[in-house]
């Protein structure tokens, strides 16, 4: 019984705290180091940001509707743990994606706009997660459901950013 409670509290701390950590914003000075370089050097440096961004994006998009399928047949606890681990990996991938996307901005105005959009999205995500917890106030299915909603929100946001800033990523 103590082991089950320990696992549940560990999972709850993973999905409730870690999955809520916003990514870090870069400073204007960090972007300036890229955009102030001569064009050929800036293009070369920008290429180093594209690989990790594209890999993180592809990894998360490939997982849509595929998370924890095997675990869902094994019961709620294995599924909840798996979704918690998927949230942790999604957070890591999103941090990589967002950091590198910031470094691909063409100017300070674009960076500021991206960061303002991110702050607004974080508030939206927090509201959506709050609504999720209100609709599933308890029970063993609540953590898995909240984790799945979080993955959906995060991956949809990645797709939005890819669509909006696709030109930055491709050039």
Residues 102-142: tens digit of each pLDDT:
999 999 999 999 999 999 999 999 999 999 999 988 788 88
The 10s digit of each residue's pLDDT in 91-109 is 999 999 999 999 999 999 9
The C-alpha angle 75, 10, 81, rounded to 5 degrees, equals: 30
Report which DSSP code applies to 26: P
Is residue 2 one of the residues assigned to a domain?
A: no
Which DSSP state fits 74?
A: S
Instruction: Give the burial string for 48-64 (b: 16+ CB within 10 Å, else e).
Output: ebbeebeebbeebeebe
| 113 within a domain of the structure (yes/no) | yes
State the CB neighbour count (10 A cutoff) for residue 16. Answer: 17
At 5, phi and psi to the nearest 5? -65, -40
15 part of a folded domain: no
Whole-number average pLDDT of the chain:
88
pLDDT tens sequence across 2-39: 444 444 444 444 444 444 678 999 999 999 999 999 99
Report the alpha-carbon distance of residue 85 to residue 19 in Å, rounded: 10
User: The tokens of 87 are what?
Assistant: 């949230």
Number of independent structural domains in the chain: 1
Tens-place pLDDT, residues 35-61: 999 999 999 999 999 999 999 999 999
Q: Is residue 1 part of a domain?
A: no
With respect to residue 105, please indicate whether it lies within any of the assigned structural domains: yes
Distance CA 81, CA 8 (A): 8
Task: Indicate whether 14 belongs to any domain.
Answer: no
CA 37 to chain centre: 30
Name the residue range of residue 99's domain: 27-170
């Amino acid at each position: 019984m103590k082991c089950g409670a320990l696992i549940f509290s560990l999972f709850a701390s993973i999905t409730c705290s870690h999955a809520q950590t916003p990514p870090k914003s870069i400073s204007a000075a960090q972007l300036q180091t890229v955009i102030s370089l001569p064009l050929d050097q800036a293009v070369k440096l920008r290429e180093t940001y594209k690989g990790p961004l594209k890999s993180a994006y592809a990894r998360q998009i490939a997982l849509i509707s595929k998370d924890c399928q095997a675990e869902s047949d094994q019961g709620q606890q294995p599924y909840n743990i798996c979704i918690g681990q998927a949230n942790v990996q999604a957070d890591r991938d999103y941090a990589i994606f967002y950091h590198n996307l910031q470094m691909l901005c063409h100017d300070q105005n674009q960076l500021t706009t991206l960061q303002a959009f991110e702050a607004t999205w974080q508030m939206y995500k927090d509201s959506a997660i709050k609504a999720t917890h209100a609709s599933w106030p308890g029970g063993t299915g609540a953590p898995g459901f909240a984790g799945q909603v979080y993955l959906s929100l995060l991956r949809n946001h990645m797709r939005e950013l890819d669509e909006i800033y696709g030109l930055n990523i491709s050039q």
